[in-house]
Amino acid sequence: MRVALNAGILRAPRTGIGQYLVELVQALAAYPEIELRLFNGWSWQSELPAAALPGYSRASGLIKRWVPNAYALRRLVEQQRFNRGTAGVDLYHDPSLWPFECNGPMVMTLHDLTHVHFPETQPADRLREIERHAARSVERAERILVDSHFIGEEVCRYYGVPTERVVVAPLGYAARFYPRTAAQLAAPLQALDLQPSRYLLCVGTLEPRKNLQLALRTYQCLPAALREQYPLVIVGMPGWRPEQLAEPLQRALASGQVRLLGYQSDTTIAELLAGARLLLFPSLYEGFGLPVLEAMASGTPVILSRSSALPEVAGEAGTYIDPQDEQACAEAIQQLIDDQPEWQRRRDTGLLRAEAFSWQRCAAITANVYRQVVES
């Protein structure tokens, strides 16, 4: 079975969907009957790229800023390049909202409906392209893979898709996410001027949906002595409309107690998750919430919003908060710092919960969808 897979997102530094694509491709290698052909936006290849294209994000940003209709023009060129490699393909799988045109059967992965709930977080030209392509793509897809039951129900309700066309394939966590001892973490964290279990962590793109404003307000509610001992570390790409965070973030950074590390390597993120006292994840909307699962697998308790798909991932292991209530969030942080038995309970429950998720399971469900579509 020859499967064409759109891997163009891997040109950029890897965030959630990029990680999904990498881990899925690696896990599908266990199925020798599936031959993957990866389209990188310009050419076809059989192997995953080792890293993002150098300077891609900067160049892409400049093009979008200065070239009229940049999204549509790029799409036109990529469609032409895509068409050159589809001969003999049995199935096309796209992990994005606007798959390429293809004569054969198509499967798409819909990770979330951010464009529906938070259209203001999308650049206007990108939103126009989403609205032009998404509904039509959903209509023509033979199957729609989703990361959670929550998103599956949203897709059925919003797009009017029959439930039998939507398949839940929960995400997994990579082998690099596991509990580490203080001795294992000492050197890599020292390089970042951090100590094991002596910092609070936020992971996510700096954009309004991730609700990092709450994290900053919450942190200021904590006692001064606690802030001296536990800096707040924020890891993530700049994202869309980062200026919304500019003023509160600059004030927090000036205090020296909040540290913005920006985009970090996969290895460093895994070490940061394993070394944190807790992960604070106050996102307003998630189709899954991969950092939550990765934190639990690393033995780190998670404080998170009781919203969207997040309870489906964390289950009883999560400490849930109202994503608008900084005082309640501050109290939850204080408890997980002061109450060691509760911290340990949350850690143990999270490790057990993480065992229910794996990329092997995600790949098995995906491979079965491929077979069903090709054989139908």
Let me know whether 141 and 223 are in one domain.
no
Examine the domain organization and report whether 161 and 187 are in the same domain.
Answer: no
Q: Could you tell me if 276 and 317 lie in one domain?
A: yes
Number of structural domains (the chain) is 2
Most confident of 117-126, 197-206, 234-243: 197-206
Q: Is residue 238 part of a domain?
A: yes
Q: What is the pLDDT of residues 259-301, one digit of tens each?
A: 989 889 999 999 999 999 999 999 999 999 999 999 999 999 9
The verdict on residue 29 lying in a domain is: yes
Could you read off the pLDDT of 30-56 as tens digits, one per residue? 999 999 999 998 899 989 887 666 665
Domain co-membership, 203 together with 128: no
Q: Do 129 and 231 lie in a common domain?
A: no
CB atoms within 10 A of CB 147: 26
Same domain, yes or no, for 201 and 292? yes
Tell me, yes or no, whether 281 lies in a domain.
yes
pLDDT of amino acid 293 = 98
- CATH classification at residue 24: 3.40.50.2000
Q: In this structure, are 192 and 162 located in the same domain?
A: no
pLDDT at residue 240 in the model: 53
pLDDT at residue number 355: 97
Determine, yes or no, domain membership for 177. no
Mean pLDDT of 9-27: 90
Pair (370, 344) in one structural domain: no
95 with 8: CB under 8 angstroms?
no
143/227 same-domain check:
no
Instruction: Mark whether 152 and 207 lie in a shared domain.
Output: no
> Which pLDDT score is estimated for 204?
84
Q: 313 and 186: one domain? A: yes
Q: Indicate whether 229 belongs to any domain.
A: yes
Question: Residue 95: which domain range?
Answer: 2-172+358-375
Residue 70 has pLDDT above 80, yes or no: no
pTM for the model? 0.92
Does residue 252 sit in the same domain as residue 121? no
